Amino acid sequence: MIDYGTIERIQSAAQIVEVVSDFLTLRKRGVNYVGLCPFHEDKSPSFYVSPAKNICKCFACGEGGTPLHFVMKLEQLSYVDALKYLAKKYGIEVKETEMTDEEKQAHGDRESMFILNSYAQKVFSANLFENPEGKTIGLSYFHERGFRDDVIKKFQLGYSLEEKDAFTQQALLAGYKFAYLEKTGLTVVGENNYKADRFRGRVMFPVHTLSGKVVAFGGRILKNEKTAKYVNSPESEVYHKSNELYGIYFARQAIVKQDRCFLVEGYTDVISMHQAGIENVVASSGTALTQGQIRMIHRLTTNVTVLYDGDSAGIKAAIRGIDLLLEAGLNIKIVLLPEGEDPDSFAHKQNATAFNEFIKENETDFVRFKANLLIREAGNDPVKKVKMVTEIVDTIALIPEEIVRLVYVKECSLISGVDEGTLVRAIAKKRQEALLQKKKTAYPEAANPETGNFPDESQMPPPQEQEDYTGFAFGKTSSLDNYESTILRYIIRYGEIDMANIKEEEDIDDIPKGETKKEPPLFVIEYIVEELKQDDLKFSNPAYQQIMEEVFERYKNPDFHAEHYFRNHVDPNISKLAVDLSTDKYIESKIHSRYKPVPKEEKKLFDLVPYVVINYKNALLQKRMDEISAAITEAERNGDPEQLVERMKELAIYTQKKKMIAPFLRERIIG
């Protein structure tokens, strides 16, 4: 892990204009810079960069943040990789915390394997363009497939010489250890210490991670030998096939920008589509989709269009693996290409405009596609029809959103002629069975050994939460979310301002000349913290509460500056939230500011800050009163007089409290 001191140096050195300018063309507008947003289709500049605040913000799609957030989002890098990217840009040595001997060994092995893979890619690419055998066999093959040299170089394609151990010997002479040649699978070791290049005589397709490291290779044989057409690197400490998608490194920015991912089967499908101008495409490399691959796509977009051959094999392949995508909550479209075409051949005949036009005209929602396909297969056979309905139910039951399920139920009812109610009941039963199975997996010891059933939900422990790369979910977690985020906004943006001595200019004009009116300092952060502590209030949103707890710990420290501290927080999710809370929601137009100046928010803090706090307390009281009212209704329904009396007394107390703060709310309403 990178130590905190190094993180601070990186964040201090990184200048937002310099970082963004590496990717976008910016032009000056007043004290800020503007450009076209890289995160959505932006026709007029809506992406603002503030050198004063060292942040960026798109006022159309809402994306932005510090230099670190920008790099993480645009390059789809992890927090640590983004820090290393900025450290390299600014010439900062990255120091990491001390690792155990085992960790050092594992880390050293991984890094050595990545370095060796990178070396191998360079050797294979050099063979393709510089070695007579590589040019005659490998480069000729790629040219026959219609690939241009610039695209071949972009994807770092190559050729492994046919000689038994040509690469192995070259790598050993270059100083690479044989142990890593074996671990990466570049060299195969057989009986009697037999050593040979795994990919000899094959054209090479390097597989890149999301951040661009070469993690593995795929090799295609060109001669008609009795051997596998494609050979892939074996699983290793750095390569897990189920977690990689071919082409993801080259597609990631286009996927984010277009908010859609094309999914194909093979290497050449991806390359041909790139050459045709369609870059938001990845391949599952001929294997069934895995959870790891789906998570990678989900990080970039929720919209997936699956492209498959138009033959029967392509149709069957289209159905396999889609269930996992649906279960992950992704929106799936299917496009079957014309008979005899695959994405590779079809892309060679199209430009990007024609290709996208074809997609638009021919893509079909997956559930509708599957229902129509099954109905055609079933015909008038009642047994097949029952099986068809069961398969439709199984598919719809996977969809997590209830509203989406109901829409599909209505549509499938029209297509199949099966009553909506029947489909809904069957889907509910299927989901209940799936939930029970999950419980059995999570708590095998909790099930009744005789019946296999579980106790009531209230008696079950909560499932163990899995750590998620996104950290906190910053969406609304309760009805109090708006109140809590508003309070945090005042802390982060204005925490160190003395609100007692900020007045409107007209108030200052009322003071006779020669006199001064100076109130004891009352800082925004101090006022809010003391008000919350007084009633022992805790925020319902866990991310907001974490920020408040850190505020409670640090606000009396004279060196603590809330905005700087949280914008540069070690948790990138917290720092992103701080940027969002401290950034202006709108940009004032020049015309508006010329004719009608907008009062500065800072000048109203003396009124605004107490108002948002008392408003929050009022909302808390109302929420509690609503809960008590529901309990009273329940007690009346159950005929429980004791419970009814207790709840009525409690309601009276809260009603009185609400009446007590009502005058403060009226007084603090800002005109």
Per domain, the residue ranges of the chain are 4-89, 101-239, 471-588+595-671
Confidence of residue 319 (pLDDT cuts 50, 70, 90): low
The answer to whether residues 522 and 462 touch, using CB atoms and an 8 Å cutoff, is no
Find the mean pLDDT for residues 77-106.
Answer: 79
Closest CA to 334 of 295, 296, 372, 290: 372
Closest CA to 532 of 622, 609, 628: 609
The single residue listed with the structure tokens 């429980």 is 640
The whole-angstrom separation of Cα 211 and Cα 227 is 33
The answer to whether residues 187 and 165 touch, using CB atoms and an 8 Å cutoff, is yes
Residues ≥6 apart with Cβ < 8 Å to 176: 116, 119
User: In whole angstroms, how far apart are CA 354 and each of 262, 358, 365?
Assistant: 15, 6, 21
Residues ≥6 apart with Cβ < 8 Å to 174: 119
Burial of residue 405, with CB atoms counted within 10 A of its CB: 0-12 exposed, 13-18 middle, 19 or more buried: buried
148/101: higher pLDDT: 148
Closest CA to 206 of 296, 309, 128, 279: 128
pLDDT at 133 over 80: yes
DSSP 3-state percent helix, strand, coil across the chain (nearest 5): 55, 10, 35
Q: Indicate if 101-239 has the same CATH topology as 4-89.
A: no
The single residue listed with the structure tokens 């190094």 is 6
The whole-angstrom separation of Cα 138 and Cα 158 is 7
- Which letter does DSSP use for residue 50 in this model? E
pLDDT at 634 over 90: no
Find the mean pLDDT for residues 132-157.
Answer: 95
The whole-angstrom separation of Cα 196 and Cα 441 is 44
- Strand 281-283, strand 261-264: pairing: parallel
Angle, CA of 226, 218 and 298, to the nearest 5°: 135
The answer to whether residues 370 and 395 touch, using CB atoms and an 8 Å cutoff, is yes
- Kindly report which listed range (53-57, 250-254, 286-290, 546-550) carries the lowest average pLDDT score: 286-290
pLDDT at 286 over 80: no
pLDDT at 138 over 50: yes
pLDDT at 505 over 50: no
pLDDT at 379 over 80: no
The single residue listed with the structure tokens 């939930």 is 435
Sequential DSSP letters for 152-178: HHHTT-EEE-SSTTHHHHHHHHTT--H
Report the DSSP beta bridge partners of residue 64.
57
130-134, 373-377, 484-488 — most confident range: 130-134
Closest CA to 391 of 367, 407, 414: 367
Confidence of residue 449 (pLDDT cuts 50, 70, 90): very low
Find the mean pLDDT for residues 557-564.
Answer: 86
The answer to whether residues 334 and 366 touch, using CB atoms and an 8 Å cutoff, is yes
Please give the structure tokens belonging to residue 533: 């502590």
Confidence of residue 593 (pLDDT cuts 50, 70, 90): very low
- Chain segment 150-167, per-residue pLDDT in tens: 999 999 999 999 999 999
CATH second-level architecture of 4-89? Alpha-Beta Complex (3.90)
- Kindly report which listed range (407-416, 442-451, 558-567) carries the lowest average pLDDT score: 442-451
Find the mean pLDDT for residues 535-549.
Answer: 88
The answer to whether residues 248 and 208 touch, using CB atoms and an 8 Å cutoff, is yes
- Chain segment 462-496, per-residue pLDDT in tens: 333 333 322 333 444 457 888 999 999 999 988 88
- Which letter does DSSP use for residue 266 in this model? S
The whole-angstrom separation of Cα 625 and Cα 631 is 10
User: In whole angstroms, how far apart are CA 138 and each of 146, 167, 323, 611?
Assistant: 13, 16, 38, 73
Please give the structure tokens belonging to residue 632: 């009273």
User: In whole angstroms, how far apart are CA 414 and each of 95, 411, 568?
Assistant: 63, 5, 55
Confidence of residue 540 (pLDDT cuts 50, 70, 90): confident
Find the mean pLDDT for residues 414-425.
Answer: 84
Find the mean pLDDT for residues 43-58.
Answer: 86
Instruction: Identify the pLDDT of residue 59.
Output: 84
Which amino acid type is present at position 505?
E
Instruction: Identify the pLDDT of residue 670.
Output: 43
Please give the structure tokens belonging to residue 581: 């809370």
Find the mean pLDDT for residues 88-94.
Answer: 88
Residues ≥6 apart with Cβ < 8 Å to 646: none
pLDDT at 109 over 70: yes
Please give the structure tokens belonging to residue 364: 């079909």
Residues ≥6 apart with Cβ < 8 Å to 539: 480, 484, 545, 548
User: In whole angstroms, how far apart are CA 483 and each of 70, 250, 262, 306, 617?
Assistant: 28, 42, 41, 43, 9
**Percent of the chain with pLDDT strictly greater than 70:** 84
Which amino acid type is present at position 381?
D
- Strand 303-308, strand 261-264: pairing: parallel
Residues ≥6 apart with Cβ < 8 Å to 52: 31
Confidence of residue 587 (pLDDT cuts 50, 70, 90): very low
Task: Kindly report the CATH number that applies to the domain delimited by 101-239.
Answer: 3.90.980.10
Please give the structure tokens belonging to residue 491: 């802390």
Question: What does pLDDT average to over the chain?
Answer: 81
pLDDT at 256 over 50: yes
Element (H, E) at 355: helix 352-362
pLDDT at 458 over 80: no
